[in-house]
Amino acid sequence: MELLSLKNIEKTYEQKCVLNKVNLSIKEGEFFTFLGPSGCGKTTLLRIIAGFVQAEKGTVTFEGNNMTNTPAEKRNVGMVFQNYALFPFMNVFENVAYGLKNKKDSKQTILQQVTKYLKLVNLEGYEARNVSELSGGEQQRVALARSLVMQPKLLLLDEPLSNLDARLRDKMRMELKEIQSQLGITTLFVTHDQTEALTMSDRIAVFDQGNCVQVGTPYEIYTAPANVFVANFIGDTNLFKVQIENNKAVLNSTVSLDLCKDSLGEYISIRPQDITISDKTEGSLNTLSGIVKKVSMSGPLIEYIVTVEALELKVIKLNTIGAEYKRGQQVYLTLEPRCIKILNE
């Protein structure tokens, strides 16, 4: 069932279009992510949904009710800000209890609820700590508990993991996902980190300069990017400007590749792991001879940069025994037609 619907949302700041006719529908219980580079309008859209910012055009509908002009405090939406925005002069308990106190809940209810949500975010025993005495990850959990204790229908998270170091980020990613599925709370998550988006989301909306360019599951976005921007932004890819004629993509005067079908497009994209590399050739379709220019090993994976005439291709292989090719070695790359995506800008 649909929980939130955005129709033709438009927002301008100082005559610059920040959001351009955004249409989205978010289902109940979904973990939905806004993904895009810095400045593409993610936070602005989240603020419009929360009611902190007014759009010039468009409607925000929540559970079938038009909420476009409803004040933030009446929206039943919880927001965790990127900088956590905790109250610095209050301890952990007081921070989490703040909203319930404002609602004039009884002391007993407040104690019960704050205890329950601090336990949920793994902060039992931290009640009396001042927030300035907490690590980034702990502050992030207090901010999360402070939102969750209000039992919002929709949880908005604005890059909540970006201030944490890599290890803590991985850990919090899993914890956050676990809490979300335990509570079944519909969550809108903002990030510019593709790995975060791919690993956590049910669905992702990709933004490019205020435009929502694709909505889909992580698998759909990764394997069938809608355009060059999405293919480039999500995951590594080999992207070439080409001429397409007679079922072939012509890369330059000497290199052309057979395609599955003759669709229109100006670019082809092939993921590094879809290229096979070998020191032998069976002369199969789309096999190119090249020289290994660079080898970098990151543990389970080996990444090669291979030059084929004037072109450079990135190839990723699993680092299994006997899999390594050396710098300067001649190799053969095979680009299967079904792995070549035809794209436009």
Ligand X SMILES: Nc1ncnc2c1ncn2[C@@H]1O[C@H](COP(=O)(O)OP(=O)(O)OP(=O)(O)O)[C@@H](O)[C@H]1O
Give the residues lining the site for ligand X (CB under 6 A).
13-14, 18, 36, 38-44, 192
User: CB under 8 Å to 170, separation ≥6 — which residues?
Assistant: none
| Interaction partner, residue 14 (Mg ion, ligand X, none; CB < 5-8 Å by kind) | ligand X
DSSP 340: P
| Residue 103, phi then psi, degrees to nearest 5 | -80, -5
Instruction: Report which of 61, 51, 77, 50 is spatially closest to residue 24, judged by C-alpha positions.
Output: 61
CB of 158 to Mg ion, least distance (A): 6
- Does 44 sit near Mg ion (CB under 5 A)? no
227 binds, among Mg ion, ligand X, none (CB under 5 to 8 A by kind): none
Shortest distance in whole angstroms from residue 107 CB to ligand X: 39
Among the listed residues 33, 43, 201, 286, the single contact to Mg ion using CB under 5 A: 43
The stretch among 26-34, 40-48, 66-74, 160-168 that binds Mg ion (CB under 5 A) is 40-48
CB closer to ligand X out of 12 and 59: 12
Measured from the CB of residue 206, what is the shortest distance to ligand X in angstroms?
12
Write the burial class of residue 4 (CB in 10 Å: 0-12 exposed, 13-18 middle, 19+ buried): buried
Query: Of ligand X, Mg ion, none, which one does residue 13 interact with (CB within 5 to 8 Å by kind)?
Result: ligand X
- CB closer to ligand X out of 40 and 340: 40
CA distance 96 to 88: 12
Residue of 156, 151, 153 whose CA lies nearest to 32: 156
**Other Cβ atoms within 10 Å of 174 Cβ, number:** 11
The listed partner (Mg ion, ligand X, none) that binds 242, CB under 5 to 8 Å by sort, is: none
Do residues 33 and 204 make contact, with C-beta atoms less than 8 angstroms apart?
yes
Residue whose CB is less far from ligand X, 17 or 183: 17
Would you tell me which residues interact with Mg ion (CB under 5 A)?
A: 43
